[in-house]
Amino acid sequence: MDEYDLFAPVQLAEGVSVFRKIDHPDEVDLSSANTQKPAKELFFPQSEVMFRYEKVGKRNQIVSLDEENRERILFGARPCDIEAISIIEKVFVSEEYTDVYFLDKRKKTTLMGLGCNHPISTCFCSSAGGDPFLRAGSDLFFIDLGEAYFVELLTEKGMAFHQNKFFKEADPRDLTLVKELEGKAFEKVGYTIPVDGIEKRLDLMGESLFWDRVHEICMGCRICTYLCPTCHCFDIVDEGGHQRGQRVRNWDSCLSPLYSLETSGHNPRPSCRERTRQRLMHKFNYFPKNFNQVACVGCGRCILYCPVHFDIRQAILWTSSKRPKGSERGVL
């Protein structure tokens, strides 16, 4: 294990949990249903140096950064966060251009997923195509049985751990327990949000009055996009001066008025209406058109941390005729 850097959830303050490099086992904190900041941060940091430059004589010397040398383990990420990494990968790794910063970190990381025994009220992963025990994407999958973890080795990367001294052969009775836990979690998270077919429904709603209404309570704080495990927009800025400095990329958000503002003063998305439409259309219409999958994993962070209680599930419901009774009066 010494050749790996271990990243796992830690609690920085009450309710503030993030993935950090672990130096001591006591730091790991799996008490919250999910971290506040998603695991995407490990592959696509909030702020990342792309390269440094320095003037040597009359010319600039560009120094690309050293690649990550050590192998990494991501432990304790929930299936939604792991699914989200593969969603970002679809954009960042393509035939024509590959985002080397992302891919380098992705390649060097073994993903150890953790099943969700206790999904919370904002979770809707099963509606969004995932589930609380989705193995896809994980190299190893952990299920908390109370006294021990039930571990599945799923990929070649995962198999590399089969001789780990902490693992022992599972008991057939454990399997029954796993099934039981899965059943309970499924029941809790339910299958109530009509994400299926949303791409087609939104095709007809480009100029719908829906957008006039849906954005109304949003105040454009952008926290939903920063904490979203699939949002991957970034800004590029130079820091430093003429002699030396660095080019940095930072998380950006389509909900920011500056995001699409042009130097001329023209802004193709001048109000919160267009920006909210962009956020939702990208997740549920544009992204599915390009990649056959919605860019939402149902982690519920945007609902949980929205200061004005915008509920993306309600917006999804509103696109559907199959609205549960009373939903038209819901908070949105």
Partner 1 sequence: MKNPYLPISMVVKKTNVETTDRMLRTLELSFSNEEDAKSFRFIPGQFCELSVLGKGEAPFGIASSPTENGSLKFTINKAGVVTTALHHLEEGSEVGIRGPLGNAYPIDLFKGKNVLVIGGGFAFTTLRSLIVYLLHPENRSKVNEITVIYGARMPGLLLYKEELNQWEKRSDLKLVVTVDWGDKDWKGKVGLVPNVLEEVAPTSENTYAVICGPPIMIKFTFPKLMTLRFPNERIYTSLEKRMKCGIGKCGRCNIGPLYVCKDGPVFSYARLEKLPKDY
Residues of the shown chain interacting with partner 1 in the complex, contacts defined by CB under 8 A: 50-51, 53, 58-60, 62, 64, 91-92, 94, 96-101, 103, 206, 232-238, 240-242, 245, 247, 249, 252, 254, 259-264, 266, 268-269, 274, 278, 281-282, 285-287, 289-290
DSSP string, 243-276: SEEEEEEEE--TTSTTSS--TTS--SS-SHHHHH
Nearest approach, Cβ of 89 to partner 1 (angstroms)? 12
CB atoms within 10 A of CB 71: 14
Name the residue type at position 250.
N
What is d(CA 280, CA 210) in angstroms, rounded to the nearest whole number? Answer: 12
Q: In what order do the strands lie in the sheet with 16-21?
A: 16-21, 4-13, 71-77, 109-114, 140-144, 149-153
Please enumerate in sequence order all residues whose Cβ is within 8 A of that of 29, keeping only pairs 6 or more positions apart, or say none. 9, 10, 11, 17
Rg of the chain over Cα atoms, rounded to whole angstroms, equals: 22
Q: In what order do the strands lie in the sheet with 47-56?
A: 59-64, 47-56, 244-251, 234-240
Name the residue type at position 300.
G
Nearest approach, Cβ of 87 to partner 1 (angstroms)? 13
Nearest approach, Cβ of 214 to partner 1 (angstroms)? 16
Q: Contact at 8 Å (CB) between 19 and 37?
A: yes
Nearest approach, Cβ of 268 to partner 1 (angstroms)? 5
Nearest approach, Cβ of 100 to partner 1 (angstroms)? 5
In the complex with partner 1, which residue's Cβ is closer, 58 or 70? 58
What is d(CA 232, CA 81) in angstroms, rounded to the nearest whole number? Answer: 13
Q: Contact at 8 Å (CB) between 151 and 140?
A: yes
In the complex with partner 1, which residue's Cβ is closer, 89 or 144? 89
Nearest approach, Cβ of 31 to partner 1 (angstroms)? 34
In the complex with partner 1, which residue's Cβ is closer, 52 or 184? 52
Q: What are the beta bridge partners of residue 247? A: 51, 238
In the complex with partner 1, which residue's Cβ is closer, 97 or 166? 97
Nearest approach, Cβ of 264 to partner 1 (angstroms)? 7
What is d(CA 137, CA 323) in angstroms, rounded to the nearest whole number? Answer: 32
Nearest approach, Cβ of 260 to partner 1 (angstroms)? 5
Q: Is 141 helix (H, G, I), strand (E, B) or coil?
A: strand
In the complex with partner 1, which residue's Cβ is closer, 180 or 239? 239
In the complex with partner 1, which residue's Cβ is closer, 4 or 234? 234
Nearest approach, Cβ of 244 to partner 1 (angstroms)? 8
In the complex with partner 1, which residue's Cβ is closer, 59 or 325? 59
In the complex with partner 1, which residue's Cβ is closer, 149 or 226? 226
| φ and ψ of 104, to 5 deg | -60, -45
Q: Is 61 helix (H, G, I), strand (E, B) or coil?
A: strand
In the complex with partner 1, which residue's Cβ is closer, 145 or 223? 223
